[in-house]
Amino acid sequence: MNGRSMMILMLAGLSGLGAMVGVNKLMNKNQVEVPQQEYVVATRDLKTEEVLKASMLKIDKKPKDSLPPNVMTNIKDCEDRWVQIKILAGEPLVEGKLAPKGAPPGLVSQIPKGKRAFAIEVNEQTGVSGFIMPGHHVDIIQVRPNVGVQNASESETILQNVPVLAVGQTFTRPEDKSIIVRTVTFAVNPDQVESLVAARSKGPLSLALRGVDDVEVVEKPKPKPIEIAKVEPEPAPVVAPPPPPPPPVEPTPPPKPVKKQRVVKIFHGIQNEAIETIAVGKREFEGAGANDSESDGGLAITPRSPGFGGSGSKEIRGFDGDPAPPPAAPAIDHSP
């Protein structure tokens, strides 16, 4: 290699080195320093309802843009607060995962502002076999008897996408396993509480579990108006007028009573025979004139003796129809 070639090679190396140094300076000049931020992380896994102490936390540093919003930056702000949602080791602590400072551990601190906690009774069937957990969302359905159809029932969705606060007495989400409980507690508005109370008095309530991120509220179809067919009334049947009432029947007069006449023949004496006629309602005198016989409603006794001269009459009074008293025996002459 001659001297001219060596000179050209040296000039090329110096030119590349200069270009590299220039580019490096240019890049360092345009590069902006990324700001860093300190944040609080957990030194170990933190369980729900666990009260935070300073020994459970530490400070770490990351670029500010890579941190979640509302991240905790001071350990003192996290002390004496209990965990609402499970936190993993190395995970940044955020405000939403911690209960308010000074709030007692329990369900009260988990009720959102403006909401009310309301519980309903469930069983294995209405509670989706115990797979409903705190933090899930459900629909509340009412089953009531159908008034128009006998031995039939109908259902209606009362509320949709209702958040679950607690199941039974557990308001933290346990491991992925079913829990058979008797009550489920929800976070609802005050007007929704009134709707649930009214619905519970009409029939039992059932729950339908929603999937993850399924928060869509389904609009209920409006009931279609029922068209009532016009039915022409049937003509009224022609009713014949009632027949005229029969003429009044004049009552027949009762028959006049017929007076019965009884005749009794009585024989008196041994030698002389006397025949007496007892007539009811009439006087009789044999041999007497017309004026001596009359009807006066009494009893007349007429003795007739063949052995005595003349004839006479003896009267015994009484009432018509009454039995006549026995007549007195006639006097008998025993002279020689």
Task: Give start and end residues of each alpha helix (H) in 50-154.
Answer: none
Q: If you write DSSP's letter for every residue of 213-249 in order, what string do you get?
A: T--PPPPPPPPPPPPPPP-PPPPPPP-PPPPPPPPPP
Domains and CATH numbers, the chain: 36-97 (3.90.1210.10), 110-209 (no CATH), 265-316 (no CATH)
- pLDDT per 10-residue tile (average), the chain, 336 residues: 73 80 71 78 88 91 86 90 88 88 77 90 86 90 75 82 88 70 91 90 88 82 56 76 84 76 58 50 43 44 46 42 52 52
Model pTM score:
0.46
What local confidence, expressed as pLDDT, does residue 117 receive? 93
What local confidence, expressed as pLDDT, does residue 194 receive? 92
Ramachandran region, residue 133 (left: φ > 0; alpha: ψ -120 to 50; beta: rest): beta
Query: Which residues on neighbouring strands pair with residue 293, listed in sequence order?
Result: none
What local confidence, expressed as pLDDT, does residue 329 receive? 53
CA distance 51 to 101: 11
What local confidence, expressed as pLDDT, does residue 40 receive? 92
CA distance 37 to 62: 6
The residue with tokens 């014949």 is 240
